[in-house]
Structures are given as C-alpha cells and as structure tokens.
Amino acid sequence: MTLASGLWLLVTLGRSADDRRGETQILAVARWWAEVQRRRMARWYDTGTADLAAPLTGMPALSYVATRWTVGLLGGVVLLAAAIGAGYASLLVWGWFLVDLDQWPLVIAPATFGGLFLLFLCIQGVHAVALMDEQLIRHFLGPSDRQTLERRIGELAKSRAGVVEAVHDERRRIERDLHDGVQQRLVALGMLLGRARRTPDPEKSSELLRQAHEESQQALVELRDVAWRVYPAALDEGGLAAALETVAERAAIPVRLSCELRDTPPPTAQAVAYFVAAEAVTNAVKHSGAEQVTVRADRTGELLRLRVEDDGRGGADASGSGLLGLSRRIAALDGTLSVASPAGGPTIITAELPCA
C-alpha cells in the first residue's frame, strides 16, 4: 500500500488537477488507510490523535501513506535488531549446549552482555520510532494553524458562556439562600420584637425577647454559612489546605483529608478546587448515603489534582446543576472534571487544574 501510493504520487506529481479527476478511487483508499493508522495511534499510543481533523482532500492522506515507508522500514530494522539481541541474550540459558564449559566465560558471557545491550538500544529505538510516527501523522493529517485557532476560539467562547451561566446560577442560589433562610429569620425576629413591645406582661415580654435573641443567633449562623459558601475567608488566610479543613469540619459525616502541596497553586486554581471539594462533599452527604468521604489534593508539576471519593450508593448525575456549574468553572481554566459513579458506588470525582 505504501509503495503503490509512493509510486502513484511520483507519477502524478506534475499532472494537473483535471488529469487527476478520474483517480479519486486511489485517493479514497489512501484516505481510508490513513484513517486506520490514525485510529491505531489514538488507541495504542494514547496521543489524542483521534480528534485530528480529517483531510479535506485525499492528497494529504496519500502523502502520509507514501512517506510513511521510511518509518516502517526503520521500525522493521529495530524489531530485527531486537530479535537478534534477544537471541544473543538468551545464550545464557541454552548456550551451554553449543559451547564447551571451558570456553563458556569467554564466549557466552560477552555475547549475552552484547545481546542485553542491543535490547536496551532497541527499547529506546521503539520509543523514537513511535514519536516519529506520531509527528508524521500530525504533519500530514493534523489540523492547520487556522483550524487550530478557530477551534481554540470556539472553546474559549463556549467556556466564557459557561462561566457566565455558572455565575448566574450562583447568584440565583445565593438569592434563594437569603430569601428562604436569613430573610425568614429576620422577619420572625421583627415580629417577635414587635410583640415584645406591645405586650404589657413583663414575663411574656421577657420570653419574647429570649426567642428574638435565639432567632438573631440563628440568622447570624445562616448568614455566615451563606458568606462561607460564596467565598471562604480561610482560602485567603491559610490556602487550600485550610479551606479544605473547614469543609471537613462542617460536613455531617467523617471526611478524611490529604493535602500534599509542595508549591502553592495560583489563587484561582485553589478557589475552583475548593468549590469542587465543597460541592462533592455536600452531594455525598445529601444524596449518596455515604458514611465516609476521602478528599485528596496534590500538585504534580504544573497540574493541581483534586480527588473526592465517597462510599455511597453511587449513581451521581454529572449533568446536575451543581456539578455542571463546576465543570464550567474548570473548563474556563482549561482543566478537566471527571465523574465516575457506578450503581452501588463508589463515587469518584476528579478535577485536574493547570497551574501555569
């Protein structure tokens, strides 16, 4: 296939487009073969080449197939050398059948060492051939600079719209918390104070004032909870570790916390990681029936990773309003959010945030 494509490409190199109209079948076959190779790389190399844009014409695919013979030839040489190295390295096991024991140290030992060294070189060669294969397919079949920019603009526009929607959802939630919680407390407080002023009985007035005091304390607690859900002060004072400790302390079930951050992540990444942990713990308490939640935060290079796992019944909906809002926030930072929640549990929520 590669040889035929190369010969055809050389024969038709100087021909016009009108002369090539009747040769679409060869282009279609080359495009099909290039697509097979792209899927192979996406599956075995885990390079993300599955999302590469398909060529608009068959010529890029044909050029890729025609030039790939060099990589294939090099890969064959590497595999042949690996087979030879394996043969020499295995002499340590069966070579004593061929060589006298008196000559064994002088013949078998150097051959075995050379075979092992050749195998080591072949391992490096396989990695190099894989990289060359990836670069080749990206060069011929990858998106152009314009396509890459257009896709990036689309992603930014989508993430910006998602962030705006998440902000609106957060505002609606704050309004609902204030209306259903703090506002009701303040209304009850005003009514109790009004009754205390109007009653002539000192004992009843004292009781009403006591109830009003309790209502004011409850209103203050709820107001603090609302402010804490908007943005915790511990995040600025003690960083992500301190903020996650407040999440564990406020949870109604035990929360195991592990926070290993050698370098301090950016404030934006810390805030998003905190909100992911808070939402995940809240969902575990309210919906999963979990008895314990484990929260782990660590930073590897330029990546902040947060993992929240509970032992509940599972079945979490990743498209729910809470997790959907978090996914929009994470997408705005070019991060990823994954939710694994099979029936019967456990539920594992993982967020990865870039810190560059």
Asked if residue 37 belongs to a domain, the reply is yes
Q: How far apart are CA 308 and CA 294, in angstroms?
A: 6
Q: Which residue has the higher pLDDT, 310 or 98?
A: 310
SS (H, E, C) 113-136: HHHHHHHHHHHHHHHHHHHHHHHH
What is the reported pLDDT for 16? Answer: 45
247 and 343, same domain (yes or no)? yes
What is the reported pLDDT for 197? Answer: 84
Asked if residue 346 belongs to a domain, the reply is yes
Residue-wise pLDDT for 253-292, tens only, equals 888 988 888 778 888 888 888 888 888 888 888 877 888 8
What is the reported pLDDT for 4? Answer: 47
Residue 96 has pLDDT above 70, yes or no: no
| Number of domains forming the structure of the chain | 4
257 and 247, same domain (yes or no)? yes
Mean pLDDT of 104-116: 77
Residue 209 has pLDDT above 50, yes or no: yes
Asked if residue 154 belongs to a domain, the reply is no
What is the reported pLDDT for 217? Answer: 83
Q: Which residue has the higher pLDDT, 150 or 100?
A: 150
What share of the chain has pLDDT > 70, as a percent?
76
Among the candidates 124, 141, 158, a domain finishes at 141
90 and 113, same domain (yes or no)? yes
Segment among 3-17, 28-42, 104-118, 324-338 with least mean pLDDT: 3-17
CB 309 within 8 A of CB 348: yes
Burial class (CB in 10 A: 0-12, 13-18, 19+), 19: exposed
CA 283-288-291 angle, to 5 degrees, is 100
Residue 229 has pLDDT above 70, yes or no: no
Residue 5 has pLDDT above 60, yes or no: no
Residues 168-173: contacts with CB under 8 Å, at least 24 apart: 169/321, 169/325, 170/230, 170/325
CA distances from 173 to 178, 203, 226, 251, 327 (A): 9, 41, 10, 20, 17
Q: Which residue has the higher pLDDT, 216 or 93?
A: 216
Task: Return the top range by mean pLDDT from 85-89, 94-98, 161-165.
Answer: 85-89
Residue 119: domain span:
69-141
Which of the four pLDDT bands, split at 50, 70 and 90, describes residue 9?
very low
Closest CA to 10 of 73, 69, 62: 62
Asked if residue 165 belongs to a domain, the reply is no
Among the candidates 12, 43, 67, a domain finishes at 67
- CATH at 342: 3.30.565.10
**Dihedral of alpha carbons 151, 157, 161, 166, sign:** positive
Q: Which residue has the higher pLDDT, 142 or 355?
A: 355
**C-alpha 135: how far from chain center:** 23
Asked if residue 151 belongs to a domain, the reply is no
Mean pLDDT of 326-351: 84
What is the reported pLDDT for 50? Answer: 46
58 and 125, same domain (yes or no)? no
250 and 341, same domain (yes or no)? yes
Mean pLDDT of 213-240: 77
Q: How far apart are CA 260 and CA 166, in angstroms?
A: 29
117 and 197, same domain (yes or no)? no
Q: Chain-wide mean pLDDT for the chain?
A: 76
Q: Which residue has the higher pLDDT, 130 or 178?
A: 130
259 and 336, same domain (yes or no)? yes
Segment among 78-92, 129-143, 146-160 with least mean pLDDT: 146-160
Segment among 96-100, 326-330, 346-350 with least mean pLDDT: 96-100
Residue 104 has pLDDT above 70, yes or no: no
Mean pLDDT of 113-129: 87
Asked if residue 155 belongs to a domain, the reply is no
Asked if residue 105 belongs to a domain, the reply is yes
326 and 294, same domain (yes or no)? yes
What is the reported pLDDT for 140? Answer: 75
What is the reported pLDDT for 56? Answer: 46
Among the candidates 19, 44, 67, a domain finishes at 67
Q: What pTM was computed for the model?
A: 0.55
Asked if residue 59 belongs to a domain, the reply is yes
Residue-wise pLDDT for 39-62, tens only, equals 776 676 554 544 555 544 566 777
Q: How far apart are CA 201 and CA 209, in angstroms?
A: 12
Mean pLDDT of 239-262: 86
**How many helical (H) and strand (E) elements, i.e. helices and strands, does the chain have?**
12, 5
What is the reported pLDDT for 102? Answer: 66
258 and 347, same domain (yes or no)? yes
246 and 295, same domain (yes or no)? yes
What share of the chain has pLDDT > 90, as a percent?
2
252 and 340, same domain (yes or no)? yes
344 and 262, same domain (yes or no)? yes
Segment among 81-90, 224-233, 332-341 with least mean pLDDT: 224-233
